[in-house]
Structure 1
Amino acid sequence: MSRQHAALAPLEAFDDEAAARIETLFTDIDDTLSDEGRITSRAFDAMWRAHDAGVRVVAVTGRPAGWCDHLARMWPVAAVVGENGALCYAMIDGAIQRLYAERPADAAERLAAIERDVLAEVRGCKVAADQPFRLYDLAIDFCEEVPRIDDAGVRRIVEVFERHGATAKVSSIHVNGWFGQFDKLSMCRRAMQELFDVALDARCVYIGDSPNDEPMFAAFEHSVGVANVRDLADYFQTLPRYITRGRSGGGFAELVDHLLSARR
């Protein structure tokens, strides 16, 4: 069921009885946990508090496989879903478990053609600095390490991906594109079932900020946007059920506070 922007409810509308039942917290990273590219002490402390309270924390991101391996080892998370659902890494019993989506054999060659066309047709963007650590997708930076390009430029990047038959999703910093039938939601479902025997149901909540979170917002009974979700509202068809007062990491900490206070 699609939820319209005007219908976003304040986080306080997430009633205590439902919040107290949450066992798994799925969270985006960039501009949901991070503020201007860094994880604040408040957000990281909130992640640890959720972990220590017995809430399973799962990071769900467009960031590359190389980052995800590190995060799965070093952060207080049960798993990391990366490259917009291409893979999942989880540290279980002292060893990394890895799941991967399927992709066409010629995906790398086709993405190289897209890269050439994007850079030729859209001024001001560049291939993302984290591209060398990616396995499945192509990330085009439109504001992380370049001056922000306008909305028309971002839409043009998406159009180039789609012209080549790729899936393209806009995050708060990149346009990510890939070949293959996967997204954040499909890998979360698979990983939770295969690794933890957990269904995505009313005991789960998702928090995010950008259009690549839409499949999660649409599927989760309990979905939350940090306040900056409004910044990209024009790119959404489906928005989260609730919205925090705080932006980015402050909004994430606000959700954790709400979940843990409901348990008392």
Structure 2
Amino acid sequence: MIEKMQPLSAFGLAERLRIRGVLTDIDDTLTSEGQLTPEAYDALGRLHEAGFLVVPITGRPAGWCDHIARMWPVDAVVGENGAFYFRYDAKARKLEKRFLDDEATRAGKRARLKQLADRILAAVPGAALASDQLYRESDLAIDFCEDVPPLPAAAVDRIVALFEEAGCTAKISSIHVNGWFGDYDKLGMSRRMLNEVFSINLDAHRDEFVYAGDSPNDQPMFAYFPHAVGVANVRDFIHRLKDKPRYVTPSRGGAGFAELAADLLAARARS
């Protein structure tokens, strides 16, 4: 367990030279104030062009991940906190989709989550369905600060408690509380994706990957990866983090991700 985060400058050259893949959260890690900046998107593109394996690992919905897999300079995407991965095969001109649950199971869970959403919204004034809920396959996202005035910590905790009382897994991101029926997470689907698509045993090669994130739902990744990096705004959630990243960037959001990308690219240029 990491007790004290180190500055990104402590990420040594020899360790950076071993990195072959960059896994990254999206909201408030790639984005800044809700926007994907040219600087951050360019950083993704330069990493991909340099030969790094680039995979967003996000809580965002299947509908968004369809677009990301097809249109962004990435090799695959894991979405809805580990419910699936998508990969676009450019040669075959085909989007490959791999869900943890089959379609009938997902439909049944969505019906249960819809009932739960009504209970949560009635119990927590000011909370709202996330604006991207329509495009979700497997989870329920409750907005506590993206498109609504920020709710106090006690209200966020109440949302989590209501999910857990219903038998759901609940995770707090920088903008939503996401809940789902099942015990999967970002790490489990990342392992599956890397093995099935790229024939990589992540347990044997985790020191060759960086994970970048910013919030409590990134904790499985922070705990697992020896080279986990938080963008500077990870400090906003320090009171909620049992598992912290090893390194932290000087800047927040997409600017922090661009700093990480620059350091990895500089190391590769020296090799």
Q: Is TM-score (shorter-chain normalized) higher than 0.5?
A: yes
Describe the SS at the equivalent of 1:176. Answer: strand
Does 2:31 align with 1:9?
A: no
CA deviation string 1:82-104 (max 9, x = no partner): 00000100112332111111375
Give the aligned partner of residue 166 of structure 1. 168
- Judge conservation of contact 1:62–1:82 (CA < 8 Å) in 2: yes
Counterpart amino acid of residue 247 in structure 2: Y
TM value normalised by structure 1: 0.96
CA distance in 1, matches of 2:111, 2:240: 28
Does 2:211 align with 1:206?
A: yes
Give the aligned partner of residue 96 of structure 1. 95
Give the aligned partner of residue 261 of structure 1. 266
Describe the SS at the equivalent of 2:207. Answer: coil
Counterpart amino acid of residue 254 in structure 2: G
After TM superposition, the structure 1 = structure 2 runs for residues 10-25 of structure 1, keeping only pairs within 5 Å, are 10-25=7-22
Describe the SS at the equivalent of 1:206. Answer: strand
Does 2:53 align with 1:56?
A: yes
- Judge conservation of contact 2:126–2:149 (CA < 8 Å) in 1: yes
What is the percentage of aligned positions where both structures have the same residue? 52
CA distance in 2, matches of 1:162, 1:8: 30
After TM superposition, the structure 1 = structure 2 runs for residues 147-166 of structure 1, keeping only pairs within 5 Å, are 147-166=149-168
After TM superposition, the structure 1 = structure 2 runs for residues 187-198 of structure 1, keeping only pairs within 5 Å, are 187-198=189-200
Deviation at 1:113, TM superposition (A): 2.5
CA distance in 2, matches of 1:114, 1:150: 21
CA deviation string 1:160-208 (max 9, x = no partner): 0001010000000000000012110000000000001123221111000
Match for residue 142 of structure 1 among 144, 153, 157:
144
Does 2:31 align with 1:34?
A: yes
- Count of residues in Structure 1 that have an aligned counterpart in Structure 2: 261
- Judge conservation of contact 1:79–1:88 (CA < 8 Å) in 2: yes
Deviation at 1:52, TM superposition (A): 1.0
Give the aligned partner of residue 235 of structure 1. 240
Counterpart amino acid of residue 244 in structure 2: L
TM value normalised by structure 2: 0.94
Runs of 4+ in 1 over 3 A off after TM superposition: 103-106
- Judge conservation of contact 2:110–2:137 (CA < 8 Å) in 1: no
Give the aligned partner of residue 71 of structure 1. 68
CA deviation string 1:216-245 (max 9, x = no partner): 111111100000001011221101010000
Q: CA RMSD in A?
A: 1.1
Describe the SS at the equivalent of 2:243. Answer: coil
CA distance in 2, matches of 1:95, 1:225: 33
- Judge conservation of contact 1:102–1:180 (CA < 8 Å) in 2: no
Gaps of 5+ in 1: none
Describe the SS at the equivalent of 1:260. Answer: helix
CA deviation string 1:28-87 (max 9, x = no partner): 000000011111111011111101111111001000000000000000000010000001
Deviation at 1:114, TM superposition (A): 1.6
After TM superposition, the structure 1 = structure 2 runs for residues 244-259 of structure 1, keeping only pairs within 5 Å, are 244-259=249-264
CA deviation string 1:99-134 (max 9, x = no partner): 111375642232122211111110101000100000
CA distance in 2, matches of 1:216, 1:237: 12
